[in-house]
Structures are given as C-alpha cells and as structure tokens.
C-alpha cells in the first residue's frame, strides 16, 4: 500500500492507495468513526457492487451503516439533492465531529463533500473513491461542488476530507470507457510539469488500463502525489499554481456543456480532448512545436480517448463553444485565462488569450478531418 500525505497547513491528511481497502474500511478509518451509526452516501451502481463489502466491515466492527443511495450520473449534483442529503444528515443527528463517508466516483464525492462543508458550518467526511478519475483527481484537494443550469461546478466550497481510501480493487469491474476517462486525469500530470511521467505513460498506459496491478498502483500513487504537491502550494487557487490542474478543462467543460453534461461525453473524455485542443492551440500560437502537439493528440487517440473535435459531430460553431467558456470559474475581470503549453511538461497560465482567436481556432478544429 502507498500512503501519500496531503500537507495542508494545519489539516494534513493521508491518501492510502492499495487493494482491499474497502474490506478493511473500519480499521483504515480508526479514530474517525466516533459513533455506532455511520452515514454513507453512494449511488445505486456502487452500492450494488460494493455495498455488501462495506456493510460487512462496518457491522463486524460494531457499526451500523446508514445508507443514502442516489441515482448515478451528473444530474445528482444538483440543488435538490444537496438539500435532500443535508436534511437526511440532520435527521440522523450528524455533528461537526462526525464523519460522513462518500463512497463512489466524482459525483458522489463532490456532492457529499459540499454537504459536509455546509452542515453545521462544516463536518468531517471521508473520501472512498471507486473510479480511476476520482482516485487520481477529484477525491484529493478539497474541491466540492454541484452543477447549475449555468454550468458545471459553479456552486461549491473548498472542504478537505479527513482521509482518502483509494481501493484499487474497485477499478477491476469498471467499464473500459470509465477507466479511459479516468486515465485522462493521470496523463494530465505528465503534461502539466512532469515530462518523465508523460514518457512513462507513453510506455505503460495500455498495460495499466488492461489491469496490471503494479502499474495501476504506481499511476494512482504518482498522480495523487503530484496533485498533493500542487494543492499544498496553493490550496485555495489564489496564486495560479493550482490552476495548472485545470489543463484541458476550459475546452473540456465547454464541450460537456454543448453535449448537455450527458453520457455522450464523459468528464474525462472532455478533459482528454480539451488537452489535445490546448496543445494544438499552443502550437498555433507558436508556444510549442507542432510535432509535440501532435504527439499529445496521438497518445490520447491511440489509448482510446477522443482526440478529434470534428468526430464529436457537434452542431455548433467555435463561437458557441466560447460562449460556454464565459461561465468558467477562472474568469477574472472579464478575462479568461487559459492553460497552454510551451512543451510537454511545461504548462502555464496565459492571461492574454483572445477569445475571438479561440473561436476561429475551434472553427478550424470542427472542420478538421478526423485522423
């Protein structure tokens, strides 16, 4: 098992990465489960797969699980579910010092964390991510949120978990599409500031996706350590350092919005294509070589993720996609900073990007023939 410390000032916590952690849930949560009753928020798919394992660990150690089982999917990150879940926690008598368990992917983690952040002005919660994307990204760092009609993750709070348990066994039954969507957030760390890790991904991604246990542990642990380092430097995204973690997200969120935040384009797929677009736009501006940009596109496409905007079959133009970007959380005084690249492993925040130029670039990508 790998253990990574997220060194938040005054509130450090561990991320434990290994197989079999769900079966040993209570021993791993020692000191955090104060009462017999333990509230657990999950979705129907995860409960069907792992509910019995988690319940057995709790009952064998003298605890009573209280389940809130929600529909799977982005629609669950809503005002209605936020209110209903907070009311459920209040009815259970959850106190500030109690821990709520978020068992599931990014949707469950985001919603549960936001509930914990506002319940009695903040109670504890434990992230137990069951998808690759949640294990390497959304469960670590304390960003919590719900979606609104205006866009994704626009209402939320920074609220760090007390513990993260990333059970690699939970990845085994996942559909390949979900694994690939999570991989987008793995390779992102190589593109941000770690060219050596991108090279590792080039060599090992296919075998990792196919199930090699040692490679999966390394990929998750290295990704978590990369995120922990950046979050520790800029917890509340005030210096620009943490913004680097949004590589691919400005383009990606616009694509998710255009496709209705639906199963047509998963979040990780949007991020993957967003990183391809960021690389190609960087090459268009002369920041990185065309060869490097196409290396990024080739890697993402060959692993099985979307690498072509035209292949999505969108019925819109570049200006419509830019309009979605105007709701981006990074908007500052009417300016939208972009995460661009000077090379592989050399991402930076550019505050002088013309949205008109981005719209023209996207028009070209929409017309580009798929490779």
Catalytic residues: 121, 143, 185, 227, 237, 242, 246, 249, 253, 267
Question: CA 203, CA 200: separation in Å to the nearest integer?
Answer: 5
Backbone angles phi, psi at 286, to 5 degrees: 80, 20
- Work out the burial of residue 239: count CB atoms within 10 Å of its CB; fewer than 13 is exposed, 13-18 middle, 19 or more buried: exposed
φ, ψ at 101 (rounded to 5°): -95, 130
Is the Cβ–Cβ distance between 12 and 161 less than 8 Å?
no
Tokens of 317: 């133009």
> By C-alpha distance, which of 94, 76, 108 is closest to 33?
94
Residues facing residue 38 across a β-bridge: 65
The answer to whether 18 and 168 have CB atoms below 8 angstroms apart is: yes
Strand order, beta sheet including 124-129: 2-6, 13-18, 163-167, 124-129, 99-104, 37-43, 64-70
Residue 40: helix, strand or coil by DSSP? strand
Place of tokens 């209040």: 90
Rounded-to-integer distance, Cα 119 and Cα 121, Å: 5
Beta partners for residue 16, in sequence order: 3, 165
Cβ proximity of 302 and 217 under 8 Å? no
Closest CA to 242 of 261, 226, 219: 226
Give the three-class secondary structure for 237: coil
Q: How many C-beta neighbours within 10 Å does residue 52 have?
A: 10
CA distance 201 to 213: 15
């Amino acid at each position: 098992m790998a253990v990574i410390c997220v060194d938040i000032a005054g509130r450090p916590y561990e991320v434990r990465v290994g197989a079999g952690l769900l079966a040993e849930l209570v021993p791993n949560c020692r000191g955090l489960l104060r009462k017999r009753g333990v509230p657990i928020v999950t979705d129907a798919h995860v409960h069907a797969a792992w509910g019995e394992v988690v319940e057995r660990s709790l009952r064998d150690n003298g605890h009573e699980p209280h389940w809130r089982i929600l529909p799977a999917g982005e629609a669950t990150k809503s005002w209605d579910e936020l209110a209903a879940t907070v009311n459920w926690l209040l009815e259970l008598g959850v106190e500030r010092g109690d821990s709520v368990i978020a068992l599931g992917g990014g949707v469950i983690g985001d919603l549960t964390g936001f509930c914990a952040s506002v319940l009695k002005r903040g109670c504890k919660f434990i992230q137990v991510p069951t998808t690759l994307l949640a294990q390497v990204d959304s469960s670590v760092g304390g960003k919590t949120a719900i979606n609104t009609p205006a866009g994704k993750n626009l209402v939320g709070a920074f609220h760090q978990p007390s513990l993260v348990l990333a059970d690699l066994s939970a990845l085994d039954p996942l559909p390949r599409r979900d694994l690939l969507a999570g991989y987008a957030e793995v390779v992102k760390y190589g593109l941000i500031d770690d060219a050596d890790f991108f090279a590792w991904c080039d060599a090992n991604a296919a075998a990792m996706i196919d199930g090699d246990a040692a490679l999966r542990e390394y990929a998750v642990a290295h990704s978590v350590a990369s995120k922990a380092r950046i979050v520790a430097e800029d917890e509340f995204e005030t210096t620009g350092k943490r913004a680097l973690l949004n590589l691919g997200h400005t383009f990606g969120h616009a694509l998710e919005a255009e496709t209705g935040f639906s199963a047509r384009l998963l979040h990780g797929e949007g991020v993957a294509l967003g990183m391809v677009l960021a690389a190609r736009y960087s090459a268009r501006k002369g920041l990185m070589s065309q060869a490097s940009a196409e290396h990024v596109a080739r890697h993402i496409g060959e692993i099985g993720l979307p690498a072509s905007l035209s292949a999505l079959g969108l019925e819109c133009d570049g200006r419509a996609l830019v309009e979605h970007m105007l709701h981006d959380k990074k908007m500052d005084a009417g300016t939208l900073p972009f995460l661009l690249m000077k090379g592989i492993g050399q991402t930076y925040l550019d505050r002088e990007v013309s949205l008109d130029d981005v719209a023209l670039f996207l028009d070209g990508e929409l017309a580009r023939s798929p490779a």
